[in-house]
Amino acid sequence: ETGVTQSPTHLIKTRGQQVTLRCSSQSGHNTVSWYQQALGQGPQFIFQYYREEENGRGNFPPRFSGLQFPNYSSELNVNALELDDSALYLCASSGGGGGFSYNEQFFGPGTRLTVL
Amino acid sequence: GDSVTQMEGPVTLSEEAFLTINCTYTATGYPSLFWYVQYPGEGLQLLLKATKADDKGSNKGFEATYRKETTSFHLEKGSVQVSDSAVYFCALSDRTGNQFYFGTGTSLTVIP
């Protein structure tokens, strides 16, 4: 069984650029969630995708957008990068349908984004 | 809005000591509560959870009880080991099940 994988591992961008991060969910999982973790902080929920639809969103501006594909993999896109977007971006997958209450999330190793 | 507050770290304990990491929450209705752990060099993983008031979650010798009257979900372990050294995150899922909130994390170091 393959776990959650994310690419790339590290990324350096400059302010104003756009970035796409990728996540492959664990086998059999149909839901993907994205989180932003600043250094020394807990992860902050960005959004969740279930069956290719956004199923919940945290307090992030519209320049953070996502996609989920028929194979349940997902992308996180961030436009007009700002210095404060520098963080570790985590992807988590879960099965059993959308919603967090009863479905365990399995986290990937993250993508470290640095914005200069 | 909903939120989680957990005790500041870092925490350093000797092996076999008793551990408590405090966690309190603010939420509308009845959230589900979780503890996640991040071991050095590894990804976040679920440690335990409780989905309704008075439920006790337990795993690997760790326990936490969902206390609605005190809005708390404190993590406890009777005798910590060096291998328990990690960062621990308290978290909640709101009553809709579509929002998730983590605390800031508490770093635990257990020394032999």
Q: A70 preceded by cis ω (within 30°)?
A: no
State residue B16's pLDDT score: 97
Q: Is the confidence at residue B76, as pLDDT, over 70?
A: yes
Q: Does A55 touch chain B (CB under 8 A)?
A: yes
Q: How close, in Å, is residue A27 to chain B by CA atoms?
A: 17
| Tokens 């589900």 -> residue | B32
Task: Find, among B67, B103, B108, B100, the residue nearest to B84 by Cα.
Answer: B108
State residue A1's pLDDT score: 60
Chain B hits for A48, CB-CB cut-off 8 Å, are 98, 100
Mean pLDDT of B45-74: 96
Which pLDDT band, with edges at 50, 70 and 90, does B49 fall under?
very high
pLDDT digits (tens, 9 = 90+) for A35-60: 999 998 999 999 999 989 998 999 99
| Percent of chain B residues past pLDDT 90, beyond the cut | 84
Residue of chain B nearest A92, judged by CA positions: B44
- Determine, for residues A100 and B45 on separate chains, whether the beta-carbon distance falls below 8 Å: no
Determine contact, residues A112/A59, Cβ cutoff 8 Å. Answer: no
Q: Does B106 touch chain A (CB under 8 A)?
A: no
State residue B90's pLDDT score: 97
- Determine, for residues A100 and B51 on separate chains, whether the beta-carbon distance falls below 8 Å: no
Mean pLDDT of B81-92: 96
The whole-chain average pLDDT of chain B stands at: 94
Alpha carbon distance B91, B101 (integer Å): 5
Q: Is the confidence at residue A101, as pLDDT, over 70?
A: yes
Mutation pick from A46, A54, A91, A101 vs chain B, by most beta carbons of B within 10 Å, is A101
In this predicted model, which residue has the larger pLDDT, B78 or A99? B78
- Determine, for residues A41 and B51 on separate chains, whether the beta-carbon distance falls below 8 Å: no
Chain A hits for B32, CB-CB cut-off 8 Å, are 100-102
Alpha carbon distance A76, A41 (integer Å): 20
What would the two tokens of residue A116 be? 């200069």
Q: Point out the least confidently predicted range of A56-60, A106-110, B27-31, B73-77.
A: B27-31
Find the CB nearest B103 among A42, A45, A101: A42
Question: Pairing mode, if any, of strands B86-93 and B106-111?
Answer: antiparallel
State residue A80's pLDDT score: 98
Mean pLDDT of A88-105: 85
Q: Count Cβ atoms below 10 Å from residue A108 Cβ, excluding itself.
A: 22
State residue A7's pLDDT score: 96
Chain B hits for A35, CB-CB cut-off 8 Å, are 102
Which pLDDT band, with edges at 50, 70 and 90, does B80 fall under?
very high
Task: Find, among A27, A24, A23, A25, the residue nearest to A77 by Cα.
Answer: A23
Which amino acid makes up residue A13?
Answer: K
- Determine, for residues A42 and B104 on separate chains, whether the beta-carbon distance falls below 8 Å: yes
pLDDT digits (tens, 9 = 90+) for A1-33: 679 999 999 999 999 999 999 999 998 899 999
